[in-house]
Structure 1
């Protein structure tokens, strides 16, 4: 009797110490159809926006636009001729800017925004990624007009009652001052 009790205890311990096995769902949906459709739609949107921006560039015979590695275009309104440095990581910059539709209609004026201070390469959710990246190309005293596709501007969300969603924008930025943080 004693042996039977010992064998039952060992068997019970062996069974109770086994790993729990995750239960799998009865049906699985991969979502690949939705992902494929979203990717295709976004690729088409970016191509349409780039086509519209290139059309604006071609129609502007006065300015010479350059393409950035970040996926936007820019032209100098006022260029530095004294070879001042560009802002470096951590520098504070004082600048002003406006936001307009690519046809030039002002959506948010420079007067409404006022002067803005930001730190280079620091997260600033209030500032669109295109301007954050564009500031790195500028020197103190320069004014640059940028053409941003919507994914470098306000993207899918836009700005309520100001900038519609998925809208490419034009922004004229003046870099007023660079305060070097590494020397202070």
Structure 2
């Protein structure tokens, strides 16, 4: 009997200790809620003129179209896309771009890099999820601003180069330049 009580106490103690170590402020849900609050505040302080909008308020994901091409040419899995982009934090600090004049103006120019539209295969996970999701909702020729929570971007680790801190919602201004359909 004493052995059972000891075992039960040990299991109870281990459970309490385990749950006491979990920081409520670093759970996925709490990070998402903070991101959504920050995104909503950004949008309120920085209204975006849009001809079309998409909002998933539960996920904190927003797209504001500056222009809609009406081409109807949307990307499917493994289509090749070219996009120009500007990546920013919610402070409007540019952390990455495919446009040399934007890189120069924001003091992030790298002479070892080619500033041309980025080319990628849709859905092959070579880019952050939120970027590919945003482009998947655009058509060739569209220009849009995509705002996403950190879980859709660089998550808890931040970017490898440190330009995007951990748990940072981000913005991409995307110009969907070209679409080449995958061969069937």
CA distance in structure 2 between the partners assigned to 1:35 and 1:182 by the alignment = 52
The residue that corresponds to 2:62 in the other structure is: 73
CA distance in structure 2 between the partners assigned to 1:102 and 1:38 by the alignment = 24
1:155 counterpart = 2:155 = yes
Pair 155,95 (structure 1): closer, same or farther in 2 beyond 3 Å = same
CA distance in structure 1 between the partners assigned to 2:26 and 2:154 by the alignment = 20
Taking structure 2 as the reference length, the TM-score comes to 0.71
Q: Is contact 1:156-1:165 (8 Å) kept?
A: yes
| 1:160-179 deviation per Cα after TM superposition (whole angstroms, max 9, x unaligned) | 34111111111101111110
- The offset of 1:137, in angstroms, is 0.5
Local SS of the residue matching 2:146: strand
- The offset of 1:39, in angstroms, is 7.8
In the alignment, which of 54, 67, 70 is matched to residue 40 of structure 2? 54
Local SS of the residue matching 1:157: coil
In the alignment, which of 89, 105, 112 is matched to residue 77 of structure 2? 89
Q: Is contact 1:90-1:182 (8 Å) kept?
A: no
Taking structure 1 as the reference length, the TM-score comes to 0.71
- The offset of 1:109, in angstroms, is 2.7
Local SS of the residue matching 1:151: helix
Local SS of the residue matching 2:91: coil
Equivalences for residues 38-53 of structure 1 within 5 A: 41-53=27-39
CA distance in structure 2 between the partners assigned to 1:34 and 1:114 by the alignment = 50
| 1:52-94 deviation per Cα after TM superposition (whole angstroms, max 9, x unaligned) | 111222234442442148641110112113x422111121111
Pair 40,99 (structure 1): closer, same or farther in 2 beyond 3 Å = closer
Equivalences for residues 126-165 of structure 1 within 5 A: 127-159=127-159, 160-165=161-166
The residue that corresponds to 1:172 in the other structure is: 173
Q: Which runs of 4+ in 1 moved over 6 A?
A: none
Gaps in structure 2 of 5+ consecutive residues: 1-9, 100-108, 110-114
Local SS of the residue matching 2:23: helix
Equivalences for residues 9-48 of structure 1 within 5 A: 29=14, 32-33=18-19, 37=23, 41-48=27-34
Q: Is contact 2:35-2:60 (8 Å) kept?
A: no
CA distance in structure 1 between the partners assigned to 2:130 and 2:118 by the alignment = 15
CA distance in structure 2 between the partners assigned to 1:122 and 1:170 by the alignment = 21
* Larger deviation, residues 161-170 vs 109-118: 109-118
Gaps in structure 1 of 5+ consecutive residues: 1-26
Q: Is contact 2:36-2:60 (8 Å) kept?
A: no
The residue that corresponds to 1:7 in the other structure is: none
